[in-house]
Amino acid sequence: MSWPTLYAQLVGVNRYSTSLGKIWLSVLFIFRVMVLVVAAESVWGDEQSDFTCNTLQPGCENVCYDHFFPVSHIRLWCLQLVFVSTPTLLVAMYVAYRNHGDKKRILQVCMLFSFVLITVQEAELESLKRRKMPLAGALWWTYACSLLFRLLFEGGFMYALYVVYDGFQMPRLVQCDQWPCPNLVDCFISRPTEKTVFTVFMATTSSICMVLNMAELAYLVAKAKARRQICEPLHITAPQTCACLAQL
Amino acid sequence: MPLTPPAEPDPEPKMNWASFYAVISGVNRHSTGIGRIWLSVLFIFRILVLVVAAESVWGDEKSGFTCNTQQPGCNSVCYDHFFPISHIRLWALQLILVSTPALLVAMHVAHRRHVDKKLYKLSGRASPKDLEQIKTQKMKITGALWWTYVISLFFRIVFEVTFMYVFYMIYPGYKMIRLVKCDSYPCPNTVDCFVSRPTEKTVFTVFMLAVSGVCILLNVAEVVFLVGKACSKHLHNAGDSTMGAWIAQKLCSY
Protein backbone atom coordinates (compact mmCIF):
# COMPACT_ATOMS: atom_id res chain seq x y z
CA MET A 1 0.00 0.00 0.00
CA SER A 2 1.72 3.15 -1.13
CA TRP A 3 1.17 6.48 -2.81
CA PRO A 4 0.81 5.02 -6.34
CA THR A 5 -1.91 2.66 -5.06
CA LEU A 6 -3.81 5.61 -3.61
CA TYR A 7 -3.27 7.47 -6.89
CA ALA A 8 -4.73 4.54 -8.85
CA GLN A 9 -7.83 4.58 -6.62
CA LEU A 10 -8.34 8.31 -6.98
CA VAL A 11 -7.77 8.37 -10.74
CA GLY A 12 -10.61 5.87 -11.08
CA VAL A 13 -12.98 8.39 -9.49
CA ASN A 14 -11.70 11.09 -11.84
CA ARG A 15 -14.35 10.17 -14.40
CA TYR A 16 -17.03 11.65 -12.15
CA SER A 17 -15.05 14.73 -11.21
CA THR A 18 -15.42 18.15 -12.67
CA SER A 19 -12.43 19.71 -14.50
CA LEU A 20 -11.47 21.55 -11.32
CA GLY A 21 -11.46 18.21 -9.52
CA LYS A 22 -9.03 16.80 -12.09
CA ILE A 23 -6.76 19.83 -11.72
CA TRP A 24 -6.92 19.41 -7.94
CA LEU A 25 -5.83 15.77 -8.25
CA SER A 26 -2.84 16.73 -10.43
CA VAL A 27 -1.78 19.51 -8.05
CA LEU A 28 -2.13 17.10 -5.10
CA PHE A 29 0.03 14.39 -6.61
CA ILE A 30 2.62 16.43 -8.43
CA PHE A 31 3.19 19.38 -6.11
CA ARG A 32 2.49 17.72 -2.78
CA VAL A 33 2.99 13.95 -2.78
CA MET A 34 5.83 14.01 -5.31
CA VAL A 35 7.65 16.90 -3.60
CA LEU A 36 7.14 15.20 -0.22
CA VAL A 37 8.62 11.91 -1.38
CA VAL A 38 11.37 13.22 -3.64
CA ALA A 39 12.58 16.25 -1.67
CA ALA A 40 11.05 16.88 1.74
CA GLU A 41 11.69 13.41 3.19
CA SER A 42 15.44 13.80 2.67
CA VAL A 43 15.45 17.23 4.33
CA TRP A 44 13.79 15.81 7.48
CA GLY A 45 15.74 12.53 7.26
CA ASP A 46 18.33 13.48 9.87
CA GLU A 47 16.04 15.60 12.06
CA GLN A 48 16.65 13.60 15.20
CA SER A 49 20.19 12.35 14.62
CA ASP A 50 21.39 15.89 13.92
CA PHE A 51 19.46 17.56 16.72
CA THR A 52 22.36 18.62 18.95
CA CYS A 53 22.21 20.06 22.45
CA ASN A 54 25.06 21.87 24.18
CA THR A 55 25.41 19.25 26.91
CA LEU A 56 26.92 15.84 27.52
CA GLN A 57 24.02 14.76 29.77
CA PRO A 58 22.62 11.44 28.40
CA GLY A 59 18.94 11.62 27.56
CA CYS A 60 18.79 15.40 27.38
CA GLU A 61 18.80 15.49 23.56
CA ASN A 62 16.08 12.83 23.33
CA VAL A 63 13.85 14.61 25.79
CA CYS A 64 14.34 18.04 24.24
CA TYR A 65 13.70 16.70 20.72
CA ASP A 66 10.52 15.07 21.91
CA HIS A 67 9.43 18.28 23.66
CA PHE A 68 9.88 20.51 20.63
CA PHE A 69 8.82 18.02 17.91
CA PRO A 70 5.81 16.05 19.23
CA VAL A 71 4.89 15.02 15.66
CA SER A 72 7.27 15.46 12.75
CA HIS A 73 6.22 17.66 9.81
CA ILE A 74 6.60 14.73 7.44
CA ARG A 75 4.15 12.58 9.40
CA LEU A 76 1.66 15.45 9.66
CA TRP A 77 1.83 15.98 5.90
CA CYS A 78 1.40 12.27 5.18
CA LEU A 79 -1.67 12.17 7.41
CA GLN A 80 -3.00 15.34 5.82
CA LEU A 81 -2.59 13.94 2.30
CA VAL A 82 -4.26 10.66 3.25
CA PHE A 83 -7.20 12.37 4.98
CA VAL A 84 -7.66 14.88 2.17
CA SER A 85 -7.70 12.15 -0.49
CA THR A 86 -10.21 9.86 1.19
CA PRO A 87 -13.47 11.90 0.84
CA THR A 88 -13.13 11.21 -2.90
CA LEU A 89 -13.54 7.54 -2.05
CA LEU A 90 -17.04 8.42 -0.73
CA VAL A 91 -17.94 9.25 -4.31
CA ALA A 92 -16.38 6.00 -5.56
CA MET A 93 -18.38 4.01 -2.97
CA TYR A 94 -21.64 5.71 -3.96
CA VAL A 95 -21.01 5.04 -7.68
CA ALA A 96 -20.20 1.39 -6.93
CA TYR A 97 -23.39 1.11 -4.86
CA ARG A 98 -25.48 2.58 -7.71
CA ASN A 99 -23.84 0.32 -10.29
CA HIS A 100 -24.45 -2.71 -8.05
CA GLY A 101 -28.15 -1.85 -7.77
CA ASP A 102 -28.51 -1.31 -11.50
CA LYS A 103 -26.63 -4.53 -12.25
CA LYS A 104 -29.05 -6.49 -10.03
CA ARG A 105 -32.01 -4.95 -11.86
CA ILE A 106 -30.58 -5.85 -15.29
CA LEU A 107 -29.95 -9.45 -14.18
CA GLN A 108 -33.49 -9.73 -12.73
CA VAL A 109 -35.06 -8.42 -15.93
CA CYS A 110 -32.99 -10.86 -18.01
CA MET A 111 -33.98 -13.77 -15.78
CA LEU A 112 -37.69 -12.94 -16.14
CA PHE A 113 -37.38 -12.89 -19.92
CA SER A 114 -35.11 -15.90 -20.15
CA PHE A 115 -35.39 -16.04 -23.91
CA VAL A 116 -33.38 -12.79 -24.11
CA LEU A 117 -29.96 -13.48 -25.63
CA ILE A 118 -26.97 -13.61 -23.26
CA THR A 119 -25.16 -11.15 -25.53
CA VAL A 120 -27.79 -8.49 -24.87
CA GLN A 121 -27.33 -8.94 -21.13
CA GLU A 122 -23.55 -8.70 -21.47
CA ALA A 123 -23.84 -5.60 -23.63
CA GLU A 124 -26.06 -4.00 -20.98
CA LEU A 125 -23.60 -4.81 -18.19
CA GLU A 126 -20.67 -3.48 -20.23
CA SER A 127 -22.41 -0.21 -20.95
CA LEU A 128 -23.21 0.03 -17.21
CA LYS A 129 -19.50 -0.15 -16.41
CA ARG A 130 -18.58 2.49 -18.99
CA ARG A 131 -21.42 4.96 -18.44
CA LYS A 132 -20.73 8.33 -16.92
CA MET A 133 -23.39 9.33 -14.42
CA PRO A 134 -24.35 12.97 -14.58
CA LEU A 135 -23.49 14.94 -11.47
CA ALA A 136 -27.04 15.32 -10.17
CA GLY A 137 -29.29 14.21 -7.33
CA ALA A 138 -27.72 12.05 -4.64
CA LEU A 139 -24.37 11.92 -6.50
CA TRP A 140 -24.27 15.73 -6.46
CA TRP A 141 -24.84 15.74 -2.68
CA THR A 142 -22.20 13.03 -2.13
CA TYR A 143 -19.69 14.97 -4.23
CA ALA A 144 -20.47 18.26 -2.45
CA CYS A 145 -20.09 16.57 0.95
CA SER A 146 -16.74 15.12 -0.10
CA LEU A 147 -15.59 18.63 -1.08
CA LEU A 148 -16.68 20.01 2.31
CA PHE A 149 -14.77 17.27 4.13
CA ARG A 150 -11.68 17.94 2.02
CA LEU A 151 -11.82 21.62 2.96
CA LEU A 152 -12.29 20.75 6.64
CA PHE A 153 -9.32 18.37 6.68
CA GLU A 154 -7.02 20.76 4.82
CA GLY A 155 -7.88 23.64 7.12
CA GLY A 156 -7.68 21.45 10.21
CA PHE A 157 -4.24 20.11 9.45
CA MET A 158 -2.82 23.50 8.47
CA TYR A 159 -4.12 24.91 11.75
CA ALA A 160 -2.64 21.98 13.68
CA LEU A 161 0.76 22.51 12.05
CA TYR A 162 0.61 26.24 12.82
CA VAL A 163 -0.33 25.66 16.46
CA VAL A 164 2.15 22.84 17.17
CA TYR A 165 5.12 24.65 15.63
CA ASP A 166 4.12 28.23 16.46
CA GLY A 167 4.02 29.38 12.87
CA PHE A 168 5.61 28.04 9.71
CA GLN A 169 9.16 29.07 10.52
CA MET A 170 11.75 26.68 11.91
CA PRO A 171 14.09 28.36 14.41
CA ARG A 172 17.81 27.58 14.44
CA LEU A 173 18.05 27.41 18.18
CA VAL A 174 15.67 26.29 20.90
CA GLN A 175 16.28 26.50 24.63
CA CYS A 176 15.34 23.49 26.70
CA ASP A 177 15.20 22.81 30.45
CA GLN A 178 13.38 19.47 30.59
CA TRP A 179 14.66 16.88 33.03
CA PRO A 180 17.38 15.41 32.84
CA CYS A 181 18.97 18.49 31.23
CA PRO A 182 21.02 20.09 34.05
CA ASN A 183 19.87 23.67 33.31
CA LEU A 184 18.70 25.74 30.36
CA VAL A 185 20.60 24.26 27.39
CA ASP A 186 20.86 25.44 23.82
CA CYS A 187 19.69 22.91 21.27
CA PHE A 188 20.35 23.31 17.57
CA ILE A 189 17.99 22.14 14.88
CA SER A 190 19.37 20.66 11.67
CA ARG A 191 18.72 22.50 8.33
CA PRO A 192 16.20 25.04 9.71
CA THR A 193 16.19 27.31 6.63
CA GLU A 194 15.60 24.46 4.21
CA LYS A 195 12.82 23.18 6.46
CA THR A 196 11.22 26.63 6.55
CA VAL A 197 11.33 26.79 2.73
CA PHE A 198 9.59 23.45 2.38
CA THR A 199 7.05 24.20 5.12
CA VAL A 200 6.07 27.41 3.35
CA PHE A 201 5.93 25.55 0.00
CA MET A 202 3.63 22.86 1.39
CA ALA A 203 1.43 25.45 3.12
CA THR A 204 1.14 27.35 -0.17
CA THR A 205 0.15 24.27 -2.17
CA SER A 206 -2.32 23.34 0.56
CA SER A 207 -3.92 26.80 0.24
CA ILE A 208 -4.05 26.44 -3.56
CA CYS A 209 -5.85 23.12 -3.10
CA MET A 210 -8.32 24.76 -0.70
CA VAL A 211 -9.01 27.52 -3.24
CA LEU A 212 -9.56 24.88 -5.97
CA ASN A 213 -11.99 23.01 -3.69
CA MET A 214 -13.94 26.19 -2.89
CA ALA A 215 -14.10 27.09 -6.59
CA GLU A 216 -15.33 23.58 -7.39
CA LEU A 217 -18.04 23.85 -4.72
CA ALA A 218 -19.16 27.21 -6.08
CA TYR A 219 -19.22 25.75 -9.59
CA LEU A 220 -21.36 22.80 -8.46
CA VAL A 221 -23.86 25.09 -6.73
CA ALA A 222 -24.05 27.37 -9.77
CA LYS A 223 -24.54 24.36 -12.08
CA ALA A 224 -27.34 22.99 -9.85
CA LYS A 225 -29.09 26.38 -9.85
CA ALA A 226 -28.84 26.64 -13.65
CA ARG A 227 -30.23 23.12 -14.00
CA ARG A 228 -33.19 23.96 -11.78
CA GLN A 229 -33.91 27.05 -13.88
CA ILE A 230 -34.12 24.89 -17.01
CA CYS A 231 -36.22 22.10 -15.49
CA GLU A 232 -38.69 23.96 -13.26
CA PRO A 233 -40.65 25.60 -16.11
CA LEU A 234 -40.93 22.14 -17.75
CA HIS A 235 -41.99 20.55 -14.41
CA ILE A 236 -39.22 17.95 -14.58
CA THR A 237 -38.32 16.83 -11.07
CA ALA A 238 -36.20 13.68 -11.60
CA PRO A 239 -32.61 14.93 -11.15
CA GLN A 240 -31.04 12.53 -13.69
CA THR A 241 -33.55 13.49 -16.41
CA CYS A 242 -33.01 17.14 -15.59
CA ALA A 243 -29.21 16.70 -15.76
CA CYS A 244 -29.41 14.97 -19.16
CA LEU A 245 -31.65 17.75 -20.45
CA ALA A 246 -29.30 20.42 -19.12
CA GLN A 247 -26.36 18.80 -20.95
CA LEU A 248 -28.08 19.17 -24.33
CA MET B 1 31.99 -14.36 4.79
CA PRO B 2 28.72 -16.07 3.88
CA LEU B 3 27.19 -15.00 0.60
CA THR B 4 24.06 -12.96 1.14
CA PRO B 5 21.20 -13.60 -1.25
CA PRO B 6 20.46 -10.71 -3.60
CA ALA B 7 17.95 -8.21 -2.24
CA GLU B 8 14.35 -8.88 -3.23
CA PRO B 9 13.16 -6.44 -5.88
CA ASP B 10 10.81 -3.96 -4.29
CA PRO B 11 7.29 -5.22 -5.18
CA GLU B 12 5.63 -1.94 -4.23
CA PRO B 13 5.86 0.81 -6.84
CA LYS B 14 7.23 4.05 -5.43
CA MET B 15 6.02 7.59 -6.04
CA ASN B 16 9.20 8.68 -7.72
CA TRP B 17 10.67 10.09 -10.90
CA ALA B 18 9.65 6.96 -12.86
CA SER B 19 5.96 7.49 -12.14
CA PHE B 20 6.45 11.21 -12.83
CA TYR B 21 7.94 10.24 -16.21
CA ALA B 22 4.85 8.12 -16.95
CA VAL B 23 2.62 11.14 -16.27
CA ILE B 24 4.68 13.63 -18.29
CA SER B 25 5.55 11.43 -21.25
CA GLY B 26 1.85 11.05 -22.02
CA VAL B 27 2.04 14.63 -23.28
CA ASN B 28 4.67 13.57 -25.82
CA ARG B 29 2.07 12.62 -28.42
CA HIS B 30 0.97 16.23 -28.78
CA SER B 31 4.46 17.75 -28.82
CA THR B 32 6.52 18.86 -31.75
CA GLY B 33 9.76 17.05 -32.62
CA ILE B 34 11.79 19.58 -30.66
CA GLY B 35 9.45 19.07 -27.69
CA ARG B 36 10.20 15.34 -27.71
CA ILE B 37 13.93 16.03 -27.83
CA TRP B 38 13.51 18.42 -24.89
CA LEU B 39 11.66 15.76 -22.90
CA SER B 40 14.41 13.20 -23.59
CA VAL B 41 17.14 15.66 -22.58
CA LEU B 42 15.18 16.45 -19.40
CA PHE B 43 14.80 12.84 -18.39
CA ILE B 44 18.16 11.46 -19.46
CA PHE B 45 20.58 14.30 -18.76
CA ARG B 46 18.86 15.89 -15.80
CA ILE B 47 16.57 13.56 -13.86
CA LEU B 48 18.62 10.42 -14.46
CA VAL B 49 21.92 12.17 -13.66
CA LEU B 50 20.31 13.70 -10.55
CA VAL B 51 19.08 10.34 -9.26
CA VAL B 52 22.02 8.19 -10.32
CA ALA B 53 24.96 10.48 -9.62
CA ALA B 54 24.24 13.84 -8.03
CA GLU B 55 22.26 12.51 -5.06
CA SER B 56 25.23 10.40 -3.93
CA VAL B 57 27.63 13.34 -4.27
CA TRP B 58 25.42 15.48 -1.99
CA GLY B 59 24.47 12.52 0.21
CA ASP B 60 26.96 13.33 2.94
CA GLU B 61 26.77 17.11 2.59
CA LYS B 62 25.79 17.62 6.22
CA SER B 63 27.63 14.75 7.88
CA GLY B 64 30.80 15.60 5.95
CA PHE B 65 30.62 19.32 6.77
CA THR B 66 33.23 19.78 9.50
CA CYS B 67 34.08 22.86 11.52
CA ASN B 68 37.28 23.41 13.42
CA THR B 69 35.62 23.49 16.83
CA GLN B 70 34.28 21.18 19.51
CA GLN B 71 31.41 23.54 20.33
CA PRO B 72 28.14 21.58 19.97
CA GLY B 73 25.74 23.19 17.53
CA CYS B 74 28.37 25.22 15.68
CA ASN B 75 28.44 22.71 12.79
CA SER B 76 24.65 22.79 12.39
CA VAL B 77 24.40 26.54 12.53
CA CYS B 78 27.25 27.16 10.09
CA TYR B 79 25.90 24.56 7.68
CA ASP B 80 22.49 26.22 7.78
CA HIS B 81 24.03 29.66 7.26
CA PHE B 82 26.01 28.71 4.16
CA PHE B 83 23.55 26.19 2.64
CA PRO B 84 20.04 27.56 3.17
CA ILE B 85 18.71 25.08 0.62
CA SER B 86 20.58 22.16 -0.86
CA HIS B 87 21.37 21.98 -4.61
CA ILE B 88 19.58 18.65 -4.83
CA ARG B 89 16.30 20.02 -3.51
CA LEU B 90 16.55 23.09 -5.75
CA TRP B 91 17.08 20.86 -8.78
CA ALA B 92 14.21 18.58 -7.81
CA LEU B 93 11.87 21.59 -7.48
CA GLN B 94 13.20 23.04 -10.74
CA LEU B 95 12.58 19.80 -12.63
CA ILE B 96 9.06 19.44 -11.24
CA LEU B 97 8.11 23.06 -11.98
CA VAL B 98 9.67 23.01 -15.45
CA SER B 99 7.83 19.83 -16.47
CA THR B 100 4.37 20.80 -15.30
CA PRO B 101 3.48 23.44 -17.97
CA ALA B 102 3.31 20.48 -20.37
CA LEU B 103 0.26 19.36 -18.38
CA LEU B 104 -1.51 22.57 -19.50
CA VAL B 105 -1.30 21.21 -23.04
CA ALA B 106 -2.58 17.79 -21.91
CA MET B 107 -5.55 19.46 -20.17
CA HIS B 108 -6.37 21.51 -23.28
CA VAL B 109 -6.24 18.40 -25.48
CA ALA B 110 -8.54 16.54 -23.04
CA HIS B 111 -10.96 19.49 -23.08
CA ARG B 112 -10.92 19.59 -26.90
CA ARG B 113 -11.60 15.84 -27.09
CA HIS B 114 -14.49 16.23 -24.65
CA VAL B 115 -16.03 18.95 -26.83
CA ASP B 116 -15.46 16.86 -29.99
CA LYS B 117 -17.23 13.92 -28.35
CA LYS B 118 -20.23 16.10 -27.49
CA LEU B 119 -20.38 17.44 -31.06
CA TYR B 120 -20.21 13.92 -32.47
CA LYS B 121 -23.03 12.80 -30.19
CA LEU B 122 -25.19 15.76 -31.19
CA SER B 123 -24.58 15.12 -34.88
CA GLY B 124 -25.54 11.48 -34.46
CA ARG B 125 -22.09 9.94 -34.93
CA ALA B 126 -21.97 8.33 -31.50
CA SER B 127 -20.74 4.88 -32.51
CA PRO B 128 -17.95 3.41 -30.34
CA LYS B 129 -15.67 3.43 -33.41
CA ASP B 130 -16.08 7.18 -33.89
CA LEU B 131 -15.51 7.89 -30.20
CA GLU B 132 -12.38 5.70 -30.23
CA GLN B 133 -11.14 7.64 -33.23
CA ILE B 134 -11.40 10.88 -31.24
CA LYS B 135 -9.27 9.36 -28.48
CA THR B 136 -6.50 8.15 -30.76
CA GLN B 137 -6.27 10.99 -33.27
CA LYS B 138 -3.30 13.30 -32.94
CA MET B 139 -4.34 16.89 -32.30
CA LYS B 140 -2.89 19.47 -34.66
CA ILE B 141 -1.21 22.35 -32.89
CA THR B 142 -3.46 25.05 -34.28
CA GLY B 143 -5.82 27.64 -32.95
CA ALA B 144 -6.24 27.87 -29.19
CA LEU B 145 -4.03 24.80 -28.68
CA TRP B 146 -1.20 26.69 -30.41
CA TRP B 147 -1.54 29.50 -27.88
CA THR B 148 -1.67 27.05 -24.93
CA TYR B 149 1.45 25.33 -26.22
CA VAL B 150 3.34 28.60 -26.70
CA ILE B 151 2.28 29.83 -23.24
CA SER B 152 3.47 26.55 -21.70
CA LEU B 153 6.83 27.00 -23.47
CA PHE B 154 7.02 30.55 -22.15
CA PHE B 155 6.40 29.35 -18.58
CA ARG B 156 9.06 26.66 -18.97
CA ILE B 157 11.61 29.27 -20.02
CA VAL B 158 10.63 31.59 -17.16
CA PHE B 159 10.95 28.82 -14.56
CA GLU B 160 14.32 27.66 -15.92
CA VAL B 161 15.76 31.18 -15.91
CA THR B 162 14.32 31.94 -12.45
CA PHE B 163 15.93 28.87 -10.94
CA MET B 164 19.26 29.61 -12.59
CA TYR B 165 19.08 33.09 -11.09
CA VAL B 166 18.15 31.72 -7.64
CA PHE B 167 21.14 29.37 -7.82
CA TYR B 168 23.40 32.26 -8.73
CA MET B 169 22.09 34.36 -5.83
CA ILE B 170 22.49 31.60 -3.24
CA TYR B 171 25.74 30.14 -4.56
CA PRO B 172 27.56 32.99 -6.31
CA GLY B 173 29.62 31.94 -9.32
CA TYR B 174 28.13 28.41 -9.24
CA LYS B 175 31.37 27.32 -7.59
CA MET B 176 31.56 25.27 -4.42
CA ILE B 177 34.30 26.57 -2.13
CA ARG B 178 36.43 24.31 0.01
CA LEU B 179 36.51 26.47 3.09
CA VAL B 180 34.00 28.85 4.65
CA LYS B 181 34.53 31.04 7.70
CA CYS B 182 31.72 31.17 10.19
CA ASP B 183 31.07 33.19 13.33
CA SER B 184 27.37 32.59 14.04
CA TYR B 185 26.31 31.83 17.61
CA PRO B 186 27.25 29.44 19.30
CA CYS B 187 30.61 29.30 17.52
CA PRO B 188 33.05 30.86 19.99
CA ASN B 189 34.85 32.95 17.35
CA THR B 190 35.46 32.82 13.60
CA VAL B 191 35.90 29.14 12.82
CA ASP B 192 37.03 27.41 9.65
CA CYS B 193 34.45 25.03 8.21
CA PHE B 194 35.24 22.57 5.45
CA VAL B 195 32.77 21.55 2.77
CA SER B 196 32.68 17.92 1.67
CA ARG B 197 33.58 17.08 -1.99
CA PRO B 198 33.69 20.67 -3.29
CA THR B 199 35.28 19.92 -6.68
CA GLU B 200 32.87 17.10 -7.50
CA LYS B 201 29.98 19.35 -6.52
CA THR B 202 31.29 22.13 -8.76
CA VAL B 203 31.56 19.68 -11.68
CA PHE B 204 27.94 18.54 -11.26
CA THR B 205 26.67 22.08 -10.72
CA VAL B 206 28.30 23.23 -13.96
CA PHE B 207 26.98 20.13 -15.77
CA MET B 208 23.39 20.69 -14.60
CA LEU B 209 23.72 24.36 -15.47
CA ALA B 210 24.91 23.53 -19.00
CA VAL B 211 22.06 21.09 -19.58
CA SER B 212 19.62 23.67 -18.22
CA GLY B 213 21.03 26.12 -20.80
CA VAL B 214 20.56 23.53 -23.56
CA CYS B 215 16.94 23.04 -22.46
CA ILE B 216 16.33 26.80 -22.58
CA LEU B 217 17.77 26.88 -26.13
CA LEU B 218 15.53 23.98 -27.16
CA ASN B 219 12.47 25.75 -25.75
CA VAL B 220 13.38 29.01 -27.55
CA ALA B 221 13.94 27.05 -30.80
CA GLU B 222 10.55 25.40 -30.35
CA VAL B 223 8.85 28.79 -29.91
CA VAL B 224 10.60 30.12 -33.04
CA PHE B 225 9.59 26.96 -34.94
CA LEU B 226 5.95 27.24 -33.92
CA VAL B 227 5.76 30.95 -34.74
CA GLY B 228 7.52 30.38 -38.07
CA LYS B 229 5.19 27.47 -38.94
CA ALA B 230 2.10 29.52 -38.10
CA CYS B 231 3.34 32.48 -40.15
CA SER B 232 4.20 30.37 -43.19
CA LYS B 233 0.86 28.53 -42.97
CA HIS B 234 -1.00 31.80 -42.88
CA LEU B 235 0.99 33.25 -45.79
CA HIS B 236 0.41 30.08 -47.81
CA ASN B 237 -3.31 29.87 -47.06
CA ALA B 238 -4.46 33.43 -47.54
CA GLY B 239 -1.92 35.65 -49.24
CA ASP B 240 -3.98 38.84 -49.02
CA SER B 241 -5.22 38.63 -45.42
CA THR B 242 -4.31 41.45 -43.13
CA MET B 243 -2.35 40.94 -39.92
CA GLY B 244 -5.44 41.72 -37.91
CA ALA B 245 -7.40 39.01 -39.66
CA TRP B 246 -4.57 36.55 -39.02
CA ILE B 247 -4.55 37.33 -35.30
CA ALA B 248 -8.35 37.08 -35.19
CA GLN B 249 -8.18 33.77 -37.01
CA LYS B 250 -5.59 32.40 -34.60
CA LEU B 251 -7.58 33.48 -31.57
CA CYS B 252 -10.95 32.35 -32.78
CA SER B 253 -10.20 29.49 -35.13
CA TYR B 254 -11.27 26.80 -32.72
Rounded mean pLDDT, B179-184: 92
pLDDT reported for residue B6: 45
In B, minimum Cα distance to A190 occurs at B76
Regarding predicted confidence, which is higher, A138 or A210? A210
Mutate to test the interface with A, among B15, B56, B132 (most CBs of A within 10 A): B15
Query: Is B88 in Cβ contact with A42 (below 8 Å)?
Result: yes
Q: Is the pLDDT of residue B248 over 70?
A: no
Handedness of CA B5, A5, A75, B15 (dihedral sign): positive
DSSP state of B232: H
Residue-wise pLDDT tens digits, A14-47? 777 888 898 899 899 899 999 999 899 899 988 8
Q: Could you tell me the pLDDT band of residue A12, with boundaries at 50, 70 and 90?
A: confident
pLDDT reported for residue A123: 67
pLDDT reported for residue A245: 60
Identify which of B12, B75, B80 has the shortest CB distance to residue A192: B80
In B, minimum Cα distance to A174 occurs at B73
Regarding predicted confidence, which is higher, B225 or A113? B225
- Sketch out chain A's domains with CATH numbers: 20-50+70-166+192-225 (1.20.1440.80)
Mutate to test the interface with A, among B25, B74, B77 (most CBs of A within 10 A): B77
Dist CA A11 CA A5 (whole Å): 10
Rounded mean pLDDT, B192-200: 91
Q: Could you tell me the pLDDT band of residue A54, with boundaries at 50, 70 and 90?
A: very high
Q: Would you kindly state where each structural domain of chain B is located, as residue ranges? A: 17-252
Q: Could you tell me the pLDDT band of residue A5, with boundaries at 50, 70 and 90?
A: confident
Q: Is the pLDDT of residue A212 over 90?
A: yes
Query: Is B103 in Cβ contact with A3 (below 8 Å)?
Result: no
Dist CA B217 CA B196 (whole Å): 33
- Shortest distance between the Cα of A229 and any Cα of chain B, in A, equals 22
Q: Looking at the complex, does the CB of residue B112 fall below 8 Å from at least one CB of chain A?
A: no
Q: What is the ipTM of this complex?
A: 0.74
In the CATH hierarchy, which top-level class contains the domain B17-252? mainly alpha
Which H/E stretch holds residue A175? strand A173-176
Computed over every residue of chain A, the mean pLDDT equals 85
Residue-wise pLDDT tens digits, A72-87? 999 999 999 989 988 8
Query: Is B84 in Cβ contact with A37 (below 8 Å)?
Result: no
- Put simply, whether the predicted model's pTM sits higher than 0.95 gets the answer no
Q: Looking at the complex, does the CB of residue B66 fall below 8 Å from at least one CB of chain A?
A: no
Under a CB-based contact definition with an 8 Å cutoff, are residues B201 and B59 in contact? no
Q: Looking at the complex, does the CB of residue B90 fall below 8 Å from at least one CB of chain A?
A: no
Query: Is A194 in Cβ contact with B73 (below 8 Å)?
Result: no
pLDDT reported for residue B107: 83
Regarding predicted confidence, which is higher, A179 or A159? A159
pLDDT reported for residue B191: 93
